[in-house]
Chain A
Amino acid sequence: MDELLECIEISKFFGDFAALNNVSFSVNEGSIFGIAGPNGAGKTTLFNVITCNPFPPSSGKVVFEGEEIQKLKPYEIVHKGIARTFQIPVVFYNLNYLKSVMVGSIYGTLTNLKQNVFGYSRNRYEKNALQALELVGLTSKRNDLTVHASLYDLKLLMIASAIATKPKLLFLDEPVSGLTDHEIELIWALILKLHKESDITMVIIEHIMKFLMNISDDVMVLNFGEVICRGIPRNVANDEEVIKCYLGEEFKDVFEKMKIR
């Protein structure tokens, strides 16, 4: 399998504090890549610097499809085919469900103003947005205002508007945190369906180990801005340092029950 995304020695400094320190990893095309780690390990910062939204890395290179992207503007990175969701749910609270997904379908694919003025057709973008809504199962609510949306709907809406930009690589920042077990299973199924049907490569941050360890092909664990372990889920879950820093001793028993592949 080819490497879709390669990060080479990325660092991010806030003053003297290194939020990320020489992090290198690569994501294979068509895989699901999991990122775990304790709070403040730099997981979300990693997403932020790769998508340059809201800040680029202090040093290091991000290579996407053989092209360095760390100097691009955040919206140009979206047009290259990288979409993300946010840890803290964000919402266009004056728009309805359909329109907030249309933001993604219009502006994620029309790369500049000229295209927007001359190459726009409402039907096409509305159709794309409706398809994305259909995929996450929110079609029936398309005319409701998002200001009344539940947390589950917000997470689905973020995923839908990200899919509407037609990404090759999708970053999901805690897609299931704060949800009930039933909702977690629904999103789990959705992510697997997306991965199977539309062939999107995914990078997922999550604290819910049952979900992350089962869904990922590859897992990386961060601690204090450094990679402490990387490998297939089973090996990572058995790693001494990961258990010490993050999972905890009691995880050993839980792990057997979870039947991680």
Chain B
Amino acid sequence: MKVKKLFAPLIIICLIMFIPLLFPNPFLMHLLISIFLFGLVCESWDLSMGYLGLFNFGHLAFFAIGAYSSGMLALYYGISPWITMIVSSIITFILGLLISLVTLRASEFAFSLISFAFQSMFMHWVRSGGGPAPGEFGMGGATLTGGTQGLGAKFSIPPFQLGPIIIRAGANKIPAYYLTAIIFVIVTYAMYILVNSRFGLAAVALRDSKTYAISRGINPLTYTAIFISISTFFAGMAGSLYAHLMGVVGPEIIGWSNVVIMCCIVEFGGLGTIFGPAAASFLLISLTYYLAGLSAYKNIIIALIMLFTLLIWPTGMAGAASWFKSRYLNRKIWEKRRGGV
């Protein structure tokens, strides 16, 4: 039973690990790196949107805060990217905790609205530059965030280094691929453990019936805030990875079109399933890459997918998979259960 359960994840992990050996195509590598990065964002967004039922409009702002804070610390102060990745994840954790603790005292709507305002505010701050950059980096009027050109446009953000290996999505993308793939697999597994733990139980209970959950002793503020801050923690981690791998972070990563694409991935994958958004990010991020030539028309296709999901198949890919499984693979159990009642 247990061995059988490990079968599917092991095959997927093996596939992920052998792809660069089978198809060392730079475009594919770059695509997969983006998929893993944005897959992390979507999975962590699913923690708040799917498991808590709270719409965090500002989720990508936390991704950007992770990217900018990690990038700035490494670029301006010369701190190792490995350390700044942890520091920036903790920064986003604390920010998520603060915002949720303050707004959720009022209501869930306050949380959504304040997170929306937070996103807009952060985007504005990034675009405005946020004052001169420190030391020699500020020469020639360079700003702290790099303004609309982005952080790292002049001096690129330092990459991860592991001994002699420089990990960057540049000429040789293989190390960067493995780094993102390993982090993607580990974080996905960590989230799977989290949502199946007692904390996930509290989150689902609060989402399904808040009054009932409270009447069984769940402190709604504490457990909601913890869940949201863990989701922002992983978003910050993904942002930091993005910054050091790409070398440049622009304000367009938190533009509304990006927010809509990420939101669509979570919906299309299936709310509250972790693996659903992970799988959907493979499909939809590739789609956006292949549709890049259509420029603005790309958004129409994304919107159609979103509408289809919301109106016709609200459980998304994960729902489709479990329907397929119960209908065709476990047919005997399914019929027995129906007949047995």
Residues of A participating in the B interface, judged by any CB pair closer than 8 Å? 51, 53-54, 73-75, 78-79, 83-84, 86, 90-95, 99-100, 102-104, 106-113, 116, 120, 161-162, 165
Starting from the known contacts A93-B208, A99-B201, 8 additional A-B residue pairs (CB-CB under 8 Å) come to: A90-B212, A92-B205, A92-B208, A94-B204, A94-B272, A95-B201, A95-B204, A116-B198
Q: Does B202 touch A at the CB level, under 8 Å? A: yes
- Within 178-223 of B, Cβ neighbours of A (below 8 Å) are at 198, 201-202, 204-205, 207-209, 211-220, 222
Q: Name the one of B208, B214, B215 contacting A95, with C-beta atoms under 8 angstroms.
A: B208
B198 touches A106 (CB 8 A): yes
Q: How far is the CA of A120 from the CA of B220 in the complex (A)?
A: 19
- Within 252-269 of B, Cβ neighbours of A (below 8 Å) are at none
Q: Indicate with 1 or 0, residue by residue over B6-35, a CB within 8 angstroms of chain A CB atoms.
A: 000000000000000000000000000000
Q: How far is the CA of A102 from the CA of B198 in the complex (A)?
A: 9
Q: How far is the CA of A106 from the CA of B218 in the complex (A)?
A: 9
Q: Name the one of B202, B211, B219 contacting A53, with C-beta atoms under 8 angstroms.
A: B211
Known A95-B205, A103-B205; contact A165-B216, beta-carbon cutoff 8 A: yes
Q: How far is the CA of A94 from the CA of B270 in the complex (A)?
A: 14
- 15 pairs across A/B with beta carbons < 8 Å? A53-B214, A54-B211, A75-B220, A83-B215, A86-B211, A86-B212, A90-B209, A92-B204, A92-B208, A99-B201, A102-B201, A113-B226, A120-B198, A162-B216, A165-B217
Known A75-B217, A104-B217, A108-B217; contact A92-B202, beta-carbon cutoff 8 A: no
Q: How far is the CA of A106 from the CA of B204 in the complex (A)?
A: 14
Q: Name the one of B208, B219, B220, B226 contacting A91, with C-beta atoms under 8 angstroms.
A: B208
Which residues does chain B contribute within 8 Å of A109, judged by CB atoms? Answer: 217
Which residues does chain A contribute within 8 Å of B211, judged by CB atoms? Answer: 53-54, 86, 90
Known A91-B208, A95-B201, A95-B205; contact A103-B213, beta-carbon cutoff 8 A: yes
B216 touches A108 (CB 8 A): yes
Minimal beta-carbon separation of A151 from chain B (angstroms): 15
Q: Indicate with 1 or 0, residue by residue over B272-283, a CB within 8 angstroms of chain A CB atoms.
A: 100000000000
Minimal beta-carbon separation of B46 from chain A (angstroms): 14
Which residues does chain B contribute within 8 Å of A79, judged by CB atoms? Answer: 217
Which residues does chain B contribute within 8 Å of A73, judged by CB atoms? Answer: 219
Q: How far is the CA of A251 from the CA of B208 in the complex (A)?
A: 41
**Which of B202, B216, B220, B226 counts the most A-chain CB atoms under 10 A from its CB?**
B216
Q: Which A-chain residue is minimally distant from B209 (CB atoms)?
A: A90
Q: Name the one of A78, A112, A116 contacting B216, with C-beta atoms under 8 angstroms.
A: A78
Which residues does chain A contribute within 8 Å of B198, judged by CB atoms? Answer: 106, 116, 120
Which residues does chain B contribute within 8 Å of A54, judged by CB atoms? Answer: 211
Minimal beta-carbon separation of B126 from chain A (angstroms): 34
Q: How far is the CA of A110 from the CA of B212 in the complex (A)?
A: 17
Which residues does chain A contribute within 8 Å of B213, judged by CB atoms? Answer: 92, 103, 107
Q: How far is the CA of A113 from the CA of B227 in the complex (A)?
A: 13
Q: Indicate with 1 or 0, residue by residue over B60-94, a CB within 8 angstroms of chain A CB atoms.
A: 00000000000000000000000000000000000
Q: Indicate with 1 or 0, residue by residue over B101-137, a CB within 8 angstroms of chain A CB atoms.
A: 0000000000000000000000000000000000000
A-B interface, 7 closest residue pairs, ranked by CB to CB distance from nearest: A78-B217, A107-B217, A90-B212, A108-B217, A92-B208, A104-B216, A107-B218
Which residues does chain B contribute within 8 Å of A84, judged by CB atoms? Answer: 215
Which residues does chain A contribute within 8 Å of B218, judged by CB atoms? Answer: 75, 103, 107
Minimal beta-carbon separation of B206 from chain A (angstroms): 9
Minimal beta-carbon separation of B79 from chain A (angstroms): 30
Q: How far is the CA of A14 from the CA of B305 in the complex (A)?
A: 46
Minimal beta-carbon separation of B229 from chain A (angstroms): 13
Which residues does chain B contribute within 8 Å of A53, judged by CB atoms? Answer: 211, 214-215
Q: How far is the CA of A165 from the CA of B213 in the complex (A)?
A: 12
Q: Which B-chain residue is minimally distant from A84 (CB atoms)?
A: B215
Q: Which B-chain residue is minimally distant from A107 (CB atoms)?
A: B217
Q: How far is the CA of A103 from the CA of B201 in the complex (A)?
A: 7
Known A74-B215, A79-B217, A165-B217; contact A106-B209, beta-carbon cutoff 8 A: no
Q: How far is the CA of A120 from the CA of B199 in the complex (A)?
A: 12
Q: How far is the CA of A107 from the CA of B220 in the complex (A)?
A: 11
Q: How far is the CA of A16 from the CA of B209 in the complex (A)?
A: 30
Which residues does chain B contribute within 8 Å of A95, judged by CB atoms? Answer: 201, 204-205, 208
Q: How far is the CA of A86 from the CA of B216 in the complex (A)?
A: 12
**Which of A102, A106, A165 counts the most B-chain CB atoms under 10 A from its CB?**
A106
Which residues does chain A contribute within 8 Å of B207, judged by CB atoms? Answer: 94
Which residues does chain A contribute within 8 Å of B209, judged by CB atoms? Answer: 90-92
Which residues does chain A contribute within 8 Å of B208, judged by CB atoms? Answer: 91-95
Minimal beta-carbon separation of B53 from chain A (angstroms): 11
Which residues does chain A contribute within 8 Å of B219, judged by CB atoms? Answer: 73, 75, 112-113
Minimal beta-carbon separation of B130 from chain A (angstroms): 35
Minimal beta-carbon separation of A32 from chain B (angstroms): 20
